[in-house]
Structure 1
Amino acid sequence: MYSAEINRKQPACLLLVIDHSTSMAETWAGGAMSKADQLALAVNRLLGNAVLLCSKGDDRVYDYFEVGILGYGRGVSPVLYGSSASRPLLPISEVALNPNRVDHVLRRISDGAGGLVEVQTPIPAWVDPVADGWTPMAEALTTAAWIVDEWCRGHASSFPPIVVNVTDGQSTDGDPRIAAARVRAAGTADGDALLFNAHLSATARNAVTFPDDRADLPDDFARALFDMSSALPPTMVAAAGSLGYPAGTGSRGFLYNADVTALIEFLDIGTRAVTPTGLRDLTVGPRSAG
């Protein structure tokens, strides 16, 4: 299970479900930027890396997977630029060619003579920060379940879909565990859909990463998110371990009180699991990439 070859005939699926509630305007863990701003940066970075992972070193991007992003706050809707309610998932080649805009940032790079020079670096952006509304997590996951179930019907032999829910607070439209179970019930011949959850905190607290026992969690909300989360397949346990996380058999795909680095690496682990070169990519995380 969770070992299907990923290629253009058998693509994989990555669906992000991201909190757009008003509380996302708070600063993240005492930092200078809001949770919404940091999350948008992390998602845009994820998509940029995904494009690179599916390229062959030239302008061609191969459709090894399809990607979608649902935002939930003032309603639930696809927010990946170019997607729509009738087409919530896009092939990665289309994502590569169709960013919302291209930002330019100054970065320092080596000048080849022992010094540094500032250069303008283009950064594609597919999503914008949003902090407006409530937290209709149950509706968002119900929508996600419909999307991945439809996708699985057309990709019965593919690696199962990966759904990542990122939130900073409790659901405002009921218990999301029922909808989460529907997400995990979708699947392919290679296994059930994987649902991972990441919780962002406005204060610097002790983070919980990839726990394997709900009894060790600090409150009912954390335990609910744990219940919603899938166990990590062996390749992802290896990926987490390569980044220094104490993951093992039974670890759930779940972060609580995550900081920026942990979230980026969490997203990276999920994305690299659906690249065509498998464990070799899984073991090259952002820390080692510099």
Structure 2
Amino acid sequence: MYTHSITRAHRTAFALVIDGSGSMAEQIRYRGQLTTKAEAVAAITNDLLFELIERARRSDGVRDYYDIAVMGYSGDDEVRSLLPFGQRFIPVTELAAQPMPMRTTLQEFRQPDGSVTQREMPAPAWIEPCAAGQTPMCEALRQVRDLLTVWTEKRANTDSFPPVVFNITDGEATDCDAEELRTVSEQIRSLRTTDGNVLLINIHIAADETGRTVFFPTEEEAATCPNRYAALLYDCSSRMPEVFEQAIRAAKGPGAMPPFRGMSFNASAAELVAMLNIGSISAKTE
């Protein structure tokens, strides 16, 4: 299971589901700068989209290895596509074919003498930051469930490497209770191709990096989760397949032993980047 290569005949899918509630206006440190959670998550998501395009690029151009969806949830129970094309799932070739919106960011660089300088760097900007209103996470996950139900039922996707869902949030859902969140998460994880079940990775980001972080936890680590919400995210997340274990152990440290669960709690921006990278690069492309 989870051994099929990604090809043009058997693509996979990535769905990013992003919290855009009012608390995402809180500040965190990213790339040496204080910025809002919303701005950091948007920048990190844009970087991942660019990386997916580049990973799909070959001498004959960008190949259709991935379908991609980026959805935001915020406001008054509002769930919408964050890609500028108005579609939910789009092929990576379609994303690559669109003019790339650009922004300028400040990044810190350490000089040989130890001093730190800042430089303006161009960066892609398909996704705009959002921080307003409530956290309708359950409705967002229901819509992802429905999208992936259609995707996994397509004959062309029957033998594909299973889709990966990243739910990025900084708080609890405001439109459901814990049991409803467990239920919709289980419904997503029960969807499958012949190569395995859909993977749901929940990433909770924190403004205070001094709190205890839970990062791809084992069952033993989960038993000491810092609070009930961390335990809930653990329950809602997928057990990570063997193909991801080497990358997870490299991130956690050589003493970490599987099985691991696809979740984090109180993650920093750097840990968010690590989780997105691990969750998106472990499958092979041909």
Give yes or no for contact 2:212–2:226 (8 Å, CA) kept in 1: no
Structure-2 separation of matches of 1:248 and 1:81: 41
The ranges of structure 1 where at least 4 consecutive aligned residues each deviate by more than 6 angstroms after the TM superposition are 106-109, 117-120
Counterpart selection for 1:178 from 157, 177, 183: 183
In structure 2, stretches of 5+ residues that fail to align are: 110-116
- Residue 237 of structure 2 aligns with an amino acid whose one-letter code is S
Structure-1 separation of matches of 2:49 and 2:258: 29
Partner of 2:41: 39
Give yes or no for contact 1:160–1:190 (8 Å, CA) kept in 2: yes
Structure-2 separation of matches of 1:201 and 1:19: 13
Aligned ranges 1:236-251 → 2 under 5 Å: 236-245=244-253, 247-251=256-260
Q: Would the alpha carbon gap of residues 265 and 244 (structure 1) be closer, same or farther in structure 2, given more than 3 Å must change?
A: same
Counterpart selection for 2:281 from 267, 272, 280: 272
Partner of 1:219: 227
- Cα distance, 1:4 vs structure 2: 1.2
Give yes or no for contact 2:82–2:127 (8 Å, CA) kept in 1: yes
Structure-1 separation of matches of 2:143 and 2:275: 23
Aligned ranges 1:10-29 → 2 under 5 Å: 10-28=10-28
- Cα distance, 1:105 vs structure 2: 4.8
Partner of 1:234: 242
- Residue 38 of structure 2 aligns with an amino acid whose one-letter code is A
Partner of 2:85: 82
Structure-1 separation of matches of 2:205 and 2:107: 27
Counterpart selection for 1:210 from 192, 216, 233: 216
- Residue 71 of structure 2 aligns with an amino acid whose one-letter code is L
Larger mean CA deviation between 178-187 and 99-108 belongs to 99-108
Give yes or no for contact 2:5–2:283 (8 Å, CA) kept in 1: no
Q: Would the alpha carbon gap of residues 61 and 143 (structure 1) be closer, same or farther in structure 2, given more than 3 Å must change?
A: same
- Cα distance, 1:101 vs structure 2: 1.1
- Cα distance, 1:251 vs structure 2: 0.8
Structure-2 separation of matches of 1:169 and 1:120: 32
Structure-2 separation of matches of 1:81 and 1:39: 17
Structure-2 separation of matches of 1:243 and 1:29: 20
Partner of 2:143: 143
- Cα distance, 1:108 vs structure 2: 9.2
Structure-2 separation of matches of 1:224 and 1:206: 16
Partner of 2:272: 263
- Cα distance, 1:125 vs structure 2: 1.4
Partner of 2:113: none
Give yes or no for contact 2:164–2:279 (8 Å, CA) kept in 1: yes
Partner of 1:113: none
- Residue 185 of structure 1 aligns with an amino acid whose one-letter code is S
Larger mean CA deviation between 182-191 and 239-248 belongs to 239-248
- Cα distance, 1:218 vs structure 2: 0.8
Structure-2 separation of matches of 1:183 and 1:103: 34
* SS of corresponding position for 1:9: coil
Structure-2 separation of matches of 1:177 and 1:118: 44
Task: Give the TM-score, by structure 2 length.
Answer: 0.86
Give yes or no for contact 1:14–1:163 (8 Å, CA) kept in 2: yes
Paired positions, count: 266
Deviations 1:175-219 (A, max 9, x none): 311111111011101111000000011212121111122321011
RMSD: 2.3
- Cα distance, 1:98 vs structure 2: 2.0
Structure-2 separation of matches of 1:122 and 1:220: 41
Larger mean CA deviation between 173-182 and 259-268 belongs to 173-182
Partner of 1:126: 126
Task: Give the TM-score, by structure 1 length.
Answer: 0.85
